[in-house]
């Protein structure tokens, strides 16, 4: 028997053992949570256990909350063992989460991890292998549920897939920072698209002409646009403005 074949067989056996052990730990953890209100279990413990037990996919709706960001990024940053080496990771970030340095670092350094920015789906959710979903509601996660019913899991996964398809890749997502909030950015982009003069647009936004023009320059820089027309086109392409019928 060739030595390389023996080595591959031993590695496969090791991965299988590790995978079985991790799955068993996850089941034990879930059993221990059964008698406790899930929102009282530390989020880091839940995320760590579920991510560690994933074998195919980890899909996360990131709200931008500091607790969730820390828990998810810490769990994903740990060295992968066994089947986890081949797990595909998708992070669907709300706007607030897109600027988190930890998430951007994961996108740069972890080849398994794909990050997009968009809306849709639950406030916070962790989907594992298409088999279970951990969902937290708003208000600091006062409500939490572990869903294992196949039909419900499938519905939540379809919701995630739809939101993922409409989301923008992190590298393409403009970070409109400074003093300009996203609603104001959309308003300015709409003014550019409709051909408002700077004077009229500044008056509608109740800012000085100089401030308005500074905002326009900031948006164009973030969009990588060389003209106001190009900024409008890029805004539609990125989903910042709806396309016209």
The pLDDT of residue 96 is 77
The pLDDT of residue 179 is 46
The pLDDT of residue 226 is 84
Question: Could you list the residue range(s) of the whole structural domain that residue 73 is in?
Answer: 3-172
pLDDT higher than threshold 90 for residue 92: yes
Cβ contacts of 143 within 8 Å, gap of 6 or more: 39, 136, 137
Whole-angstrom distance, CA of residue 76 vs CA of residue 92: 14
The pTM assigned to this predicted structure is 0.64
* Structure-model confidence comparison of residues 99 and 174, the more confident one: 99
The pLDDT of residue 232 is 79
Question: Does one domain contain both 125 and 231?
Answer: no
- Residue 97's CATH number: 3.30.870.10
Tens digits of residue pLDDT in 203-245: 888 888 888 888 888 888 877 788 888 887 777 776 677 766 5
Question: Does one domain contain both 117 and 220?
Answer: no
Question: Does one domain contain both 27 and 146?
Answer: yes
Question: Does one domain contain both 47 and 19?
Answer: yes
Supply φ then ψ for residue 203, to 5 degrees: -65, -40
Question: Does one domain contain both 62 and 124?
Answer: yes
Three-state DSSP at 55 gives coil
Whole-angstrom distance, CA of residue 137 vs CA of residue 122: 7
Tens digits of residue pLDDT in 27-74: 555 555 654 567 788 899 889 888 988 888 999 999 888 899 999 999
Task: Give the percent of the chain with pLDDT over 70.
Answer: 72
pLDDT higher than threshold 60 for residue 10: no
- Residue 199's CATH number: 1.10.10.10
pLDDT higher than threshold 70 for residue 12: no
Cα angle 129-132-134, degrees, rounded to a multiple of 5:
115
Return the structure tokens found at 234. 């890029």
Whether 140 is covered by a domain: the verdict is: yes
Whether 245 is covered by a domain: the verdict is: no
What confidence tier does 175 reach under pLDDT thresholds 50, 70, 90?
A: low
Question: Does one domain contain both 18 and 138?
Answer: yes
* Structure-model confidence comparison of residues 32 and 195, the more confident one: 195
Whether 242 is covered by a domain: the verdict is: no
Query: Given 148, 172, 196, which residue is the final one in a domain?
Result: 172
Tens digits of residue pLDDT in 70-90: 999 999 988 765 555 689 999
What is the Cβ-side half-sphere exposure of residue 241, based on CA atoms within 13 angstroms? 22
Average pLDDT over residues 96-105: 83
Query: Given 172, 196, 220, which residue is the final one in a domain?
Result: 172
């Amino acid at each position: 028997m060739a030595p390389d074949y023996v080595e591959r067989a031993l590695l496969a056996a090791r991965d299988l053992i590790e995978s079985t052990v991790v799955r068993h730990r996850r089941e034990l953890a879930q059993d221990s949570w059964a008698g406790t209100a899930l929102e009282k279990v530390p989020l880091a413990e839940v995320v760590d256990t579920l991510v560690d037990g994933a074998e195919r996919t980890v899909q996360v709706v990131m709200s931008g909350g500091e607790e969730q960001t820390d828990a998810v990024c810490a769990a994903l940053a740990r060295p992968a063992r066994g089947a986890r080496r081949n797990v595909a990771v998708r992070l669907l970030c709300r706007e607030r989460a897109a600027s988190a340095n930890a998430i951007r670092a994961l996108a740069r350094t972890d080849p398994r991890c794909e990050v997009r920015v968009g809306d849709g789906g639950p406030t916070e959710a962790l989907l594992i292998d298409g088999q279970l979903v951990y969902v937290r509601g708003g208000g600091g996660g006062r409500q939490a549920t572990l869903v294992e019913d196949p039909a419900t899991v499938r519905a939540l996964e379809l919701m995630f897939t739809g939101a993922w398809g409409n989301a923008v890749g992190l590298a393409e997502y403009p970070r409109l920072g400074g003093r300009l909030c996203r609603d104001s950015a959309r308003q300015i982009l709409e003014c550019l698209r409709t051909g408002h003069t700077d004077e009229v647009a500044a008056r509608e936004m109740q800012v000085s002409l100089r401030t308005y023009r500074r905002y326009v320059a900031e948006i164009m820089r973030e969009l990588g646009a060389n003209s106001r027309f190009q900024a409008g086109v890029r805004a539609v392409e990125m989903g910042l403005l709806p396309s016209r019928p």
